[in-house]
Amino acid sequence: MSIFITGVAGFVGTNLAAAMLKRGDKVSGFDNLSLGSARNVEAIRRHGAFDFEVVDLADVDAYRRALRALHARSPVTEVWHLAASSDIAAGVADAGVDLRDTFMTTYNTLLLMKELGIGTIVFASSSAVYGDLGERKLSEDTGPLFPISNYGAMKLASEGVISAALESHLQRAFVFRFPNVAGVPATHGVILDFVRKLRASPGNLDVLGDGSQRKSYLHVDELVDAMLFVRSRARERLGYYNIGADDEGVTVHFIAQQVVQLVAPGARITFGQGSKGWVGDVPKFAYATDKLSKLGWRPTLSSAEAIRKAIGQIAEQERAR
Ligand SMILES: NC(=O)c1ccc[n+]([C@@H]2O[C@H](COP(=O)([O-])OP(=O)(O)OC[C@H]3O[C@@H](n4cnc5c(N)ncnc54)[C@H](O)[C@@H]3O)[C@@H](O)[C@H]2O)c1
């Protein structure tokens, strides 16, 4: 397999590339380093030969030039498309951020796959496509899908253009709807935010929202394991899967307490108002993962265990910075 990963210098991309290199795949990737880092790329290189270039995938001409050259050197057999804006707040302030980095990166990737005759895409989608459906457990057939953030809207639009491309030039597609993913190298997310706040002011932790938000979490090691498992076992032409723990998730209150205990014992936790941390935040979600478990994959860690493991790792990452 010769796999091309977009957004490879980010949190999930780094872990995915390392796992693929370890099992002997040829791996290449592009990233514009807007959120990912050169340090992450160095970490991937420790696992084997890895072809990397800094490319902005929203710039279709630059993307075409770089991908054509890469494909000529070493033909790509499939694309794992992970590039997106993971900065939800930036997308709230300016909808153009998600149009460009979450949607146009998908659109351009499909266009170039058509030009180069690459038939398989694996797409990193999100629970954000479901919108706010209250207490309902989300299965792959849950609908209607009305996202409440620009990020979720552009992920759903990306799923749409992938399904349309299957009708014309793609041979296979996998759509993986991630939950909240935790681990290292952390580039964003609630744990990193809390750890950094506490390191800056160890006496107090300000939490966005009232702490009652409850969400499903998965450790990145398990996410990568699940993706590789589904890629090898699923037989559908369009395989779409919720990936996550089959539990009720954990609250922001729980995460805040766990981070305080490890990073700054005794710090006071101050909660904000309302059940949402920010505009577009989905306050509660949990997955039904029957489809994934029927295929034969289950996580070994619950949401709470994934959070505890990630807190230790992220605290260590920040100490070493
Ligand atoms: N981490 C999570 O909790 C989570 C949850 C749901 C979905 N996802 C999705 O999984 C994927 C990976 O997320 P992550 O957590 O690793 O985020 P991340 O921000 O660490 O990685 C995304 C990478 O894409 C790159 N990128 C963004 N715009 C680009 C552009 N125009 N050109 C080239 N590169 C660009 C960034 O520099 C970054 O390295 C994303 O698509 C994200 O939306 C992540």
Per residue in 200-259, pLDDT (tens digit) is 999 999 999 899 999 999 999 999 999 999 999 999 999 999 999 989 999 999 999 999
| pLDDT of 197 | 96
Ligand 1 atom index nearest CA of 155: 43
Give 86 Cα–ligand 1 centroid separation in angstroms.
5
Residue nearest to atom 7 of ligand 1 (CA): 126
Q: Which token pair is 286?
A: 């949990």
Give 101 Cα–ligand 1 centroid separation in angstroms.
9
The answer to whether the beta carbons of residues 39 and 245 sit under 8 Å apart is no
Closest CA relative to residue 86, chosen from 13, 172, 165, 163: 13
Give 82 Cα–ligand 1 centroid separation in angstroms.
6
Per residue in 12-57, pLDDT (tens digit) is 999 999 999 999 999 999 999 999 999 999 999 988 889 999 999 9
Q: Is the pLDDT of residue 278 over 90?
A: no
Give the model's confidence band at 135: pLDDT under 50 very low, under 70 low, under 90 confident, else very high. confident
Residue 276 CA to residue 40 CA, distance in Å, equals 31
| pLDDT of 24 | 93
| pLDDT of 99 | 98
Q: Is the pLDDT of residue 129 over 90?
A: yes
- The residues with which 167 forms a beta bridge, in sequence order, are none
Residue 7 CA to residue 5 CA, distance in Å, equals 6
Q: Is the pLDDT of residue 279 over 80?
A: no
Q: Is the pLDDT of residue 144 over 90?
A: yes
| pLDDT of 47 | 87
Q: Is the pLDDT of residue 199 over 90?
A: yes
Give 198 Cα–ligand 1 centroid separation in angstroms.
25
Ligand 1 atom index nearest CA of 85: 27
Report the 3 state secondary structure along the chain. Answer: CEEEEECCCCHHHHHHHHHHHHCCCEEEEEECCCCCCHHHHHHHHCCCCEEEEECCCCCHHHHHHHHHHHHHHCCCCEEEECCCCCCHHHHHHCHHHHHHHHHHHHHHHHHHHHHHCCCEEEEEEEHHHHCCCCCCEECCCCCCCCCCCHHHHHHHHHHHHHHHHHHHCCCEEEEEEECEEECCCCCCCHHHHHHHHHHHCCCEEEECCCCCCEECEEEHHHHHHHHHHHHHHCCCCEEEEECCCCCCCEEHHHHHHHHHHHHCCCCEEEECCCCCCCCCCCCEEEECCHHHHHHCCCCCCCHHHHHHHHHHHHHHHHHCC
Residue 97 CA to residue 209 CA, distance in Å, equals 24
Residue nearest to atom 23 of ligand 1 (CA): 7
Q: Is the pLDDT of residue 284 over 90?
A: no
Q: Is the pLDDT of residue 286 over 80?
A: yes
Residue 120 CA to residue 113 CA, distance in Å, equals 9
Give the model's confidence band at 291: pLDDT under 50 very low, under 70 low, under 90 confident, else very high. very high
* Chain centroid offset of residue 272 CA: 26
Residue 194 CA to residue 177 CA, distance in Å, equals 25
Q: Is the pLDDT of residue 261 over 80?
A: yes
Give 224 Cα–ligand 1 centroid separation in angstroms.
14
Ligand 1 atom index nearest CA of 181: 3
Give 203 Cα–ligand 1 centroid separation in angstroms.
32
Give the model's confidence band at 198: pLDDT under 50 very low, under 70 low, under 90 confident, else very high. very high
Residue nearest to atom 20 of ligand 1 (CA): 10
Mutate to test the pocket of ligand 1, among 82, 98, 188 (most ligand atoms within 8 A of CB): 82
CA dihedral angle for residue 62, residue 64, residue 67, residue 71, rounded to 10 degrees: -150
| pLDDT of 283 | 81
Give 84 Cα–ligand 1 centroid separation in angstroms.
4
Mutate to test the pocket of ligand 1, among 5, 30, 33, 35 (most ligand atoms within 8 A of CB): 35
Residue 263 CA to residue 300 CA, distance in Å, equals 26
Measured from CB, residues less than 6 Å from any atom of ligand 1 are 7, 9-13, 30-36, 56-58, 82-86, 101, 105, 124, 126, 178, 180-181, 187-188
Give 261 Cα–ligand 1 centroid separation in angstroms.
29
Give 303 Cα–ligand 1 centroid separation in angstroms.
21
Ligand 1 atom index nearest CA of 189: 3
Q: Is the pLDDT of residue 276 over 90?
A: no
The answer to whether the beta carbons of residues 229 and 296 sit under 8 Å apart is yes
How many CB atoms lie under 10 A from the CB of residue 137?
16
| pLDDT of 246 | 85
Q: Please compute, for residue 222, the number of CA atoms within 13 A of its CA located in the half-sphere on the CB side.
A: 25
Q: Distance between the two ends of the chain, CA-based, in angstroms?
A: 35
Ligand 1 atom index nearest CA of 81: 41
